[in-house]
Amino acid sequence: MKRGVLVLLGIILCLKLVSAGLGITPAIVEYNFEPGLEKTISIRVMESDPNMELKLYVEGDLSEYFELDRETLVGSGYYNVKMKLPEHINQPGLHIIYLGSKEMGVAGGGITSAIDARVVVKIHVPYPGKYAEITEFSVGNVNRGDNAKFQIKVASRGGEDIDANTHIALISDEEIIDTLSFEPITILSGQMAVLDKVVNTSVYGQGDYIARAIVEYVGGKAEAETKFRVGSLLVNIIDFTRTFKLDTINRFDIDINSLWNNKLDNVFATVEILKNNQVKANFKTPSVELAAWKNETLRGYFETDGFAAGKYKAKVYLDYGGQTKKEGDIIIKGFSWVYISITFIIAGLVLLGYVYFKKRKNKKS
C-alpha cells in the first residue's frame, strides 16, 4: 500500500514538473542612452498554472532607474515597468538590466519547479569620440557557382559620427584569396548601418573559408569573423570496416561525409571483396538520405563461408548522383574448418605411423 502511494506521488510530481511552464515577452528591449530618457516597458507573463504566485523583480547595474507597477502576479498577466535614466552615466558601453518573474509557489502549498523568466534590457551608453561596433556579420553556406550573400550590421556607439570604409577579406588555408570592398558611408552617432554584398562563387574552390569583416574609420576600426563553406557535388568515403571473422555473417560499415550544400536523397554503396583480382563476394547497402555537410554510416553485410583466413581487397563504390570510389586491404581472421580437418587428418596419420613403426621395432627386439 505504501509503495503504491509513493508511486502515485512520483507520477503526480512528474506531471507537475512537465506541465509547469513560464514565459515572458518581449525577450529583448534595446535603447541608446539619452539624458533623462523615459520609457514605459509593457511586459506579458505566460504562466501555465493559474494559481501560481510570481515575484517580479529588477536586476542590473542600472536597476535603480526602473520602477515596477506591482511586485507580484498570480498566473498569467501583464505589468508595466517605468524607466527613467539619469542625466549622465559615467561608464560607456553596454549596460544590461533584467526584468524578471519567478515562481514562488501555489496558494495553499504544492510542489513547484521554481522557474524564472526574464526580459533583457540593453542600454548603450556612447563612448567618447568615434566608436564602431559590428553587431552582426553573416554569410550562408553555398554550392560552388551559387551566390554567397554577405551582410554586415555596423553600429556607431560613439558620441560622434563616423565615416566608415568597409571590406571583407576571404581567407582559405590562412591566406587571403580575395577582398570584397564596399562604398564609404557615414554612420550617425547612435545609428545602425546594414551593408550587403552578393558574390558569385564560381571562382572559389570547394572547401572551408573564413570571412573577416573590417570597418575602418578615423581613430579606430572594428573587426568580426565568420565561417562558411563552398560545396561541390561530392561525398567522401572516410573509411570502412577492415577486420572480419571467418565462417560467419559480417557487418560492413562505411563512413561517409557530404560536401554538398543540399540534401542528397538516394545514397548507397556497392562493395566488392576480391582475392587475386577475382571477386569473391559483392553486396549493396540500403540507401539513405544524406543531409547537407553531414556524416553518415552505410551498413551492409556479407558472409565469409568458403573463405580462407587472410588478406583481401575491398572496393567500395559510393553512388549519390555522382560516384566516389575507395579501395583498401581487409583482413579475415579465424580458422577454416577445412584447414582444421586437414590438420587433424595429417596429425592422425603421423600418429598411426608412429604407432606402426614402434610396434615393428618391438617385434624385432
Are 136 and 220 within one domain? Answer: yes
The residue type of 254 is I
pLDDT band at 134 (very low <50, low <70, confident <90, very high): very high
Boundary residue ending a domain (125, 158, 189): 125
Q: pLDDT of 318-365, one tens digit each?
A: 999 999 999 999 999 986 555 556 666 887 777 776 666 666 666 665
| Residue 355 located in a structural domain | no
pLDDT beyond 80 at 156: yes
* Structural domain containing residue 107: 20-125
Are 111 and 185 within one domain? Answer: no
* Grid cell at residue 97: 538590466
pLDDT at 113: 54
pLDDT at 346: 81
| Residue 339 located in a structural domain | no
| Cis amide leading into 50 (omega within 30) | no
| Residue 2 located in a structural domain | no
Read off the CATH number of the domain in which 182 is found.
2.60.40.10
Q: pLDDT of 244-285, one tens digit each?
A: 999 999 999 999 999 999 999 999 999 999 999 999 999 999
| Cis amide leading into 184 (omega within 30) | no
Scanning the chain, the segments in alpha helix (DSSP H) are 2-19, 337-364
| Residue 9 located in a structural domain | no
Boundary residue ending a domain (214, 231, 248): 231
Are 118 and 157 within one domain? Answer: no
Q: pLDDT of 158-192, one tens digit each?
A: 999 999 999 999 999 999 999 999 999 999 999 99
pLDDT at 128: 95
| Residue 193 located in a structural domain | yes
Boundary residue ending a domain (204, 231, 258): 231
| Rounded Cα gap, residues 152 and 137, in angstroms | 5
| Residue 320 located in a structural domain | yes
| Residue 7 located in a structural domain | no
Are 239 and 225 within one domain? Answer: no
The residue type of 2 is K
Number of domains in the chain: 3
pLDDT band at 14 (very low <50, low <70, confident <90, very high): very low
| Residue 11 located in a structural domain | no
